[in-house]
A and B are shown apart, each in its own frame.
Chain A
Amino acid sequence: MTMLRMFLMQTKMNFVWYFRRDGEMMFWTLAMPVFFLVLFSFAFSTGPNSGSSTFLVPGIIGAQVLSSGFWGVGVMLATFREKHLLRRVYLTPMPPAVFFASLVVYRVALLVAQATILVTVGALVFHVRIIGNPLEIVAILLLGTATFVSLGTIIGALARTTESANNIASILTVPLAFLSDAYVPIDRFPHAVSSALRMLPSTQFIDTFRDVSVYGHSLVHYGAWIGLLVLWTVAGTAISARTFRWI
């Protein structure tokens, strides 16, 4: 009961403090992805029903999963540490694991909102249909979130300041998002390049998520990708757990 109360209260406060009262954050979280969807849908469209929006909706959701882990969790933790917020919490009976979990759950709630908006706009404006098995869609989304939260936490562990965390996240997010099938199909690159890009966890996640959600493939055919994502997650978690300092 005590833990649950701490967790619920912290999650609620994360939402109120870092989202509801932060206009900039609301804009970046809710409006920007839709803006990207509309912009790229028209930019890449070769005519009606060219399928570019169908490609983009899961791609942008995937990119949001990635940035939630890197920015929403990783950079946020570095900021909390730099502002001595983690130190203060460390002095209380609040378990670090519960504090961490409430940050992740808060970001997952935002992801659900983002995905809902993107799917709705996609359906109403661009006739994008989500035809995959809902359970499989949720499963791959959860795995992707776990992967990028664990990798993002490494940023929060290694960066000593908010500034350096920001820099690391920027250096990683931009190429990972743009070279991972999120916005542009990577098979347009030369074969050697696209093969290399398939080594990235972002490609593995976004491709799988797209194929399952809008192309209706079954997750059972993606065993190799899932295995790799699990490996990334395990490695990310292990490194984070070893290097993260609360104080």
Chain B
Amino acid sequence: MNEAIVVERLVKRFGTLTAVDALSFAVPRGTIFGLLGRNGAGKTTTLECCIGLGKPTSGSIHVLELDPTRPRELERLRPRIGVQLQATSLPEKANVREVLELYAAYYAIASRAEEMAARVGLDGKLDRQIAQMSGGEQQRLALALALQHDPEVLFLDEPTAGMDAFGRRILWTEVERLRDAGKTIVLTTHYIEEAERLCDRICMIQRGAIVADGTPADLVARYGGDASVTIAADGFAPGADLQHLGTWTKTGAQWKLATRGEPGLALAAVVTDANAAGAKITSLDMHRPTLEDAFIAITGETIEETE
């Protein structure tokens, strides 16, 4: 089968709260799949159901053709998946080497402590105790623990939350490397740029349900709206030769062009025209639709909670 993960009409209720509401998706092998949504949208609950941490209220889940809700199948699944949870707490007095060696024993593999530490930028910190590590370093160690046994499918729950730029770059590089090696990766995130940069496919989730899915480029093209060029210039008004670019509107001294075409080319044409007319440009701006625009258009809210 070409699908590493198949989730069908997954429902998860906690009491009267429906955290996940009839969610379905499939993840082809060798791809990076992102669940994108606000905190509390149901991303983590969905991921937890896939790895046997939560029991679905209804619906079905198959990971590598195994059902994680059945103990026997979960047992066979565990060695084949790797997981990085949002908050991994490791014993405070444990050091990096010991944790990696213990997990190697869990998975019945030879310890690769040095190699793994180097891969997540913790080389030279093998004897560092958990209590002395920053949150980002602990997250990177958690990633190493998820990878050490070379799993076929990797589940990452908000993997870069609390990481600095260095950690983020390491994680992104590692995830892309794994995908190129044929692994399947499922990640949840509320960082738009992370989803855009990494994911082959994205499911946008709102209140436990999928509101849109597709490739990042596809989502932007479908929902992101028009690109725009905004210009304010004394003595400038879009002439006939600029009308074919798109729709012009005027607000105060500002002219705004909404275009379906390449905004860079439109910008160049507008500037050339303004210069030719001898207009003095006071402000100039170009905006290309982003995944964030698509997210706002689809969900009616920004992804970061506004206080």
Contacts and interface: CB of A to CB of B under 8 A. Distances in A.
A85 interface: yes
Interface of B: 51-53, 75, 78-79, 83, 85, 87-94, 98, 101-103, 105-108, 129
B108 A2 contact: yes
Given A16-B93, A17-B91, 20 more contacts: A5-B105, A6-B105, A6-B106, A10-B102, A13-B102, A16-B94, A18-B91, A22-B93, A84-B88, A84-B89, A85-B89, A88-B88, A90-B52, A91-B53, A91-B85, A92-B103, A92-B107, A93-B78, A93-B106, A94-B106
15 contacts: A5-B105, A5-B108, A13-B91, A13-B102, A16-B98, A21-B93, A21-B129, A83-B89, A84-B85, A84-B88, A90-B52, A91-B78, A93-B79, A93-B108, A94-B106
The secondary-structure label for the interface of chain A is helix
Contact of A93 (B94, B102, B107): B107
A92 B106 CA distance: 7
A88 to B, nearest CB: 6
Contact residues on A (Cβ < 8 Å of other chain), bracket? 20 to 34
Interface of A: 2, 5-6, 9-10, 13, 16-18, 21-22, 83-85, 87-94, 247
Contacts of A84: 85, 87-89
Contacts of A17: 91-94, 98
Given A13-B98, A93-B79, A88 B105 contact: no
For the complex of A and B, 9 pairs with smallest distance between CB atoms: A21-B93, A9-B105, A92-B106, A2-B108, A94-B106, A83-B89, A17-B93, A17-B91, A93-B78
Contact of A91 (B51, B90, B94, B105): B51
Contact of A88 (B52, B89, B107, B129): B89
A92 B81 CA distance: 9
A174 B85 CA distance: 39
Contacts of B107: 92-93
A245 B92 CA distance: 23
